Amino acid sequence: MDAADERSASEGRSPLIHVFDGPLECGAMTSQPSDRPTLTSLTITSLPYVTLLGCAGIVANIALSFEEPHREMLLIATLLLAAAPVGLILHLALTDELEPSDKRKWLRGLMSRRAPELFGAYFSSTSRRRATSWLRRRAHGPDPGQR
């Protein structure tokens, strides 16, 4: 028996269980959530870029369609252009990340004069958390910026 097995036996634990506890220097392994991005967060993060691609498609359609617009290209560009707003609304409706009261605050905020700022903040989970806490604080008191 090595020193780790002797320590496990003296503590009343099986040496086999000690193997699954992780290295001695690091302590026991825990099941902490991973900070790796999920498919949903990657999808939400990519939506503004898809919308920018739609903007580029519209500009290309204007520049390259001299007399008549290319209908298929115009349709694809329009669908891409709508990706971020539609994705935001779908995510807001389907997510479990936000409470129903927070969803109402987001909708109210997206209809206010702060909509561009909130729209941009929604696509990053860190910015979305910050904006949600800002919306909560704003709901509890008047906004000092409004007069």
Residue 47 belongs to some domain of the structure: yes
Please report which confidence band the pLDDT of residue 145 belongs to, taking 50, 70 and 90 as the band edges. low
Residue of 102, 51, 48 lying closest to 78 (CA atoms): 51
Q: Which residue has the higher pLDDT, 11 or 113?
A: 113
Residue of 76, 105, 74, 103 lying closest to 90 (CA atoms): 103
Q: Which backbone phi and psi does 68 adopt, to 5 degrees?
A: -130, 140
pTM score, whole prediction: 0.64
Distances (CA, A) of 137 to 11, 112, 134, 142, 143: 50, 16, 5, 9, 9
Least confident of 31-45, 56-70, 124-138: 31-45
| Residues 110 and 125 occupy one common structural domain | yes
Number of domains present in the structure of the chain: 3
Task: Give the CA dihedral 137, 134, 92, 103, nearest 10 degrees.
Answer: 10
| Residues 111 and 130 occupy one common structural domain | yes
| Residues 136 and 99 occupy one common structural domain | yes
Q: Domain span at residue 9?
A: 1-33
Residue 29 belongs to some domain of the structure: yes
| Residues 28 and 44 occupy one common structural domain | no
| Residues 23 and 49 occupy one common structural domain | no
Which pLDDT tens digit goes with each residue over 70-125?
Answer: 889 889 999 999 999 999 999 999 988 899 999 999 999 999 999 999 999 999 88
